[in-house]
Amino acid sequence: MDRRLHSLSPKPEFAVRSCLVFDREQLAVPNVKSSRGIGIGFACRDAQSSKNRPKPKSVDVERDLIGVGAGPANLSLASLLTTARERGLTSISATFFECEATVFWHSLQMFPGSLMQTEFYRDLVTPIDPTSKFSFLNYLKAQARLDQFFCSSTIYPTRREFEDYFRWVAGQIGEVIFGVDVNSVDYDVKKNLFVVDAETHGRCVTKHIVFGSGARPKSGVEVSQPDRIVDVSRLLAFTFPKTLNRILVVGGGQSAAECLSYLLDRFSERPVRIDWVTGDTSFRALDTSNFSRETFSTAYAQMFSSLNSETREKINQDDKAAVNGMTPLYAQALYQRLYRLLHFPPPDKAYPVVHVQANTEVVETREEPAGVSVTVHIVSTAETEVVVYDCVILCTGLDDESILESSIIGPELRRRLHKNQDRDGYAVSWDGPPDRMIFVQSQNKATHGLGDTSFVTAAGRNAAILNSISGREIYKIDESDLLVALK
């Protein structure tokens, strides 16, 4: 390890308050489980208050479709469905339950000025229906700032503005119900319907189910909330320790880069030492080149799904740069900022000192009275070191765990789900009647490509879902709208 990082020996005499052990392969997978028991999706901020609300009598309200969660993916489905119904193309009835009180889109890591990583025109509907009233451009028009947005000459608005756009969409769709936590989903053989325990809303039954409940952070730290270790997804709600001489930021992607910038702003006049490490061989930029952008197109997902599983796996391994890494402009600005800080620091005041290091895996973090004792493995030298930090921020991404493996799934449905990850279109394989379908948003990477975890692919996926449920073409999917053939 770089000698500027002082190596400290472990102090076993300290009482261990919390200890996170990391999987070297994945960089950081601590042994903390979600307190929700569901093991996926963030714990809802209003969960406690909704638990106190009176529970209505169980009524079997039947729907054609129930959506679990109203993040961007299910909001896209709700938008496309609303428009299709208004145009008389379908009569599918639906309800979407969201446990939060409103749309929260990674809100606790919404650092001032954070920008979208995807273009504004890849919104909830436009890739499938550019005439939809739920487009980002129509949102701007409704806010009376369309021309100003044009004059701003950007295709990457702030994330804050996109969250506001999501809220504007949700506010127009009455069947999106907030403040309702879905506790379980099972299949009732006699009724031939899925049964959804929608907490305060009672019990509902539905022909089809669409899970859009997101992914929780790999670190799992969001629920255990130790005093000095925090996942970046909750950083804006975190109280930094009073004594703050040394901070560790773990991870080499966009979230880590934004986190570092935030720390530099927040502690701009403090002599704090910040170590930024990644287990990767370098701090990589996202591949935003034109050919790679096809990963996010509807036709790409369709063609990808027609490949055999070995080929799909290889493509997903090889093409990671299309979805992981810092946006090039952000990486450039951050590099230049660090350069200035190192070589031309402010002359008359204290300032943060940043050390950036690749090839460094965090193996274990242990909270002790003196700070967080962090064991790191330096891949390039095969050395292991222990360093004590006042605070550790984990920017290690979102978990790949499938909602279908979580405890939200009831016993009958669990028994009937096929073990493989195959999809028929986007429908999950299960041992049930073909006119009862299960879909999962944003978790079809293995079958539909890396773009699936980003919301920009949601419109294409939801068009396919609506077409499958209705058994006919409600939305046209242009399967040849692709320059690069995959086979």
Ligand X SMILES: Cc1cc2nc3c(=O)[nH]c(=O)nc-3n(C[C@H](O)[C@H](O)[C@H](O)COP(=O)(O)OP(=O)(O)OC[C@H]3O[C@@H](n4cnc5c(N)ncnc54)[C@H](O)[C@@H]3O)c2cc1C
Where does this chain bind ligand X (CB under 6 A)? 38, 41-42, 44, 68-69, 71-74, 97-100, 104-106, 109, 116-118, 181-182, 212-214, 255, 408, 441-442, 453-456
In the complex, what is the shortest distance from the CB of residue 116 to ligand X, in angstroms, rounded to a whole number? 4
Query: What does the alpha-carbon distance between residue 238 and residue 344 come to, in Å, rounded to a whole number?
Result: 31
Are 117 and 106 in contact by the 8 Å Cβ rule? The answer is: no
Residue nearest ligand X (C-beta atom): 71
In the complex, what is the shortest distance from the CB of residue 21 to ligand X, in angstroms, rounded to a whole number? 24
Residue with tokens 């050919």: 291
Taking the least distance from each CB to ligand X, the nearer of 213 and 360 is: 213
In the complex, what is the shortest distance from the CB of residue 233 to ligand X, in angstroms, rounded to a whole number? 7
Taking the least distance from each CB to ligand X, the nearer of 46 and 481 is: 46
- The gap from C-alpha 288 to its chain's centroid, in whole angstroms, comes to 19
In the complex, what is the shortest distance from the CB of residue 71 to ligand X, in angstroms, rounded to a whole number? 2
Taking the least distance from each CB to ligand X, the nearer of 1 and 198 is: 198
The two tokens of residue 280 are 């990767």
Taking the least distance from each CB to ligand X, the nearer of 99 and 464 is: 99
- The gap from C-alpha 289 to its chain's centroid, in whole angstroms, comes to 23
In the complex, what is the shortest distance from the CB of residue 453 to ligand X, in angstroms, rounded to a whole number? 5
Query: What does the alpha-carbon distance between residue 370 and residue 133 come to, in Å, rounded to a whole number?
Result: 56
DSSP 403-457: GGGSTTB-HHHHHHB-SS--EETTEEPBSS-TTS-EEESS--HHHH-GGGGSGGG
Are 47 and 181 in contact by the 8 Å Cβ rule? The answer is: yes
Taking the least distance from each CB to ligand X, the nearer of 73 and 428 is: 73
Q: Which helix (H) or strand (E) holds 339?
A: helix 328-343
In the complex, what is the shortest distance from the CB of residue 241 to ligand X, in angstroms, rounded to a whole number? 24
Residue with tokens 């370098």: 282
Are 441 and 282 in contact by the 8 Å Cβ rule? The answer is: no
Taking the least distance from each CB to ligand X, the nearer of 357 and 407 is: 407
User: Which residues have C-beta within 8 Å of that of residue 76, sequence separation ≥ 6?
Assistant: 124, 125, 455, 458, 459, 462
Taking the least distance from each CB to ligand X, the nearer of 118 and 126 is: 118
In the complex, what is the shortest distance from the CB of residue 109 to ligand X, in angstroms, rounded to a whole number? 5
